[in-house]
A and B are shown apart, each in its own frame.
Chain A
């Protein structure tokens, strides 16, 4: 007897795109603010970026209910860490925690495509990119979500990272200045918005550097 299948799915894709770029002393994390389901828009003003620690921001596209749950779990874990160690978690530590948290649900995954950005303990920008079950890598830049396929080749052209397989290891961070990086991100989203129907409305950009955090918003095409 052929197996019966469920007539519903626990997952939905709310669309959207996330990008992060690491600099020598800054990090840019950006995500569009459109939340959709199927061919409809649920809202034009939804933030996909979450502050996990002083120097760690996570942008996630995919199923936003799972994203929200993931953000809450990580925030709670960070609180526990602070109680036990009397300090904030470093970005690489948070990166490992995120990976472990995702793999914990290996057989009923968080439908979340994450990009973690922040500053490491030396003050250099760091970006970590993930799949849905926790496989991760530190990179110089990354894009995730519905517009990732449109943005990644463009970033490769502009920022090509040295291969992580090279010996001696080459620095992953980009030589771009902070303002150049922010402009690049805005260009990425403007382009992705043109051809990806799930990306648009506006882009929220977080810039992290030694002086603190800055937030910028840029309007995108709403069609």
Chain B
């Protein structure tokens, strides 16, 4: 993308029908360190690469608990992500106060998307520079959504965002068909494998990544370093390739299926809204 005369304001269309400021915001997401998410029928896992400014500083927090049944991983401007997490927590608390029930994930992501859209249509605002992977549980099972600065959101079986996320996406595309039936631990292992792909040669240790899980009977929680390191050791030592699980679902399960969540391919899994 090169500088042009239509990219100064978010409220300026280009002749080709593009809003460059929004696209630049999405670039900011691509610059952030990687975050990946994947889900089965009953569990959703978020994992991210920890980036630290220097050896002297602490890692940036990229995974936030929003409620017992929802968590979010961010990539991009983490300050924007923090603010949006606070908004999400507030929405969950208010909904819980009024209805004494957990806020359905699908509702939350729509609210988040609408909030992002506002910033693409006000001359005195700028789009949020952060992509959010929202993992949550509702009555129909586990869900994973991706909210981007444009105000769009999609549901995913598995997804990766941030720098070098393509490597993780390639891995996930190979494995995603086995995810719906995966056990919790296999799902976490797959998440770690995907993270390892983004590191491209760098050694995977628990100090470089953070993993969080939410599932049926398990409130959203961030796994502690010792647990993560133990899991990493398990598969590094056994020299295991990624867990090869049996069933391959129906055909035509390319990228399209992951994006649109065809009901045909995953009837038993939580339905995705299209």
Spell out A's residues near B (CB within 8 Å). Answer: 72, 76, 79-80, 83
Contacts and interface: CB of A to CB of B under 8 A. Distances in A.
Contact of A76 (B65, B86, B97): B97
Contacts of B97: 72, 76
A80 B96 contact: no
Contacts of B96: 76, 79
Given A76-B93, A80-B90, 12 more contacts: A72-B97, A76-B94, A76-B96, A76-B97, A79-B89, A79-B93, A79-B96, A80-B89, A80-B93, A83-B65, A83-B86, A83-B89
A184 to B, nearest CB: 36
7 contacts: A76-B93, A76-B94, A76-B97, A79-B89, A79-B93, A80-B93, A83-B86
Interface residues of B, number: 8
The A interface is mostly helix, strand or loop, or mixed, namely: helix
A72 B100 CA distance: 9
Contacts of A80: 89-90, 93
Contacts of B65: 83
A147 B31 CA distance: 66
Interface of B: 65, 86, 89-90, 93-94, 96-97
Nearest to B67: A79
Interface centre among A72, A76, A80, A83 (most CB of B within 10 A): A83
A196 B96 CA distance: 37
A8 to B, nearest CB: 26
A89 to B, nearest CB: 15
A64 to B, nearest CB: 16
A72 B96 CA distance: 10
B34 to A, nearest CB: 24
B66 to A, nearest CB: 8
What are the 10 closest A-B residue pairs judged by CB atoms, nearest first? Answer: A76-B93, A83-B89, A76-B97, A79-B93, A72-B97, A80-B93, A83-B65, A80-B89, A76-B96, A79-B89
A57 B94 CA distance: 22
B135 to A, nearest CB: 17
A79 B86 CA distance: 12
Nearest to B85: A83
Nearest to B100: A72
A219 B98 CA distance: 34
Contacts of A83: 65, 86, 89
B108 to A, nearest CB: 15
Nearest to B86: A83
A72 B65 CA distance: 21
Contacts of A72: 97
A70 to B, nearest CB: 12
With most chain B CB atoms within 10 A of its CB, the pick from A76, A79, A80 is A79
A72 B93 CA distance: 10
B59 to A, nearest CB: 15
Contacts of B86: 83
A80 B96 CA distance: 12
A167 to B, nearest CB: 43
Contacts of A76: 93-94, 96-97
Nearest to A79: B93
A83 B92 CA distance: 12
Nearest to B96: A76
A83 B86 CA distance: 9
Contacts of A79: 89, 93, 96
Nearest to B68: A79
A147 to B, nearest CB: 30
B83 to A, nearest CB: 13
Contacts of B94: 76
A79 B93 CA distance: 8
A76 B99 CA distance: 13
A129 B97 CA distance: 26
Contacts of B89: 79-80, 83
A198 B120 CA distance: 61
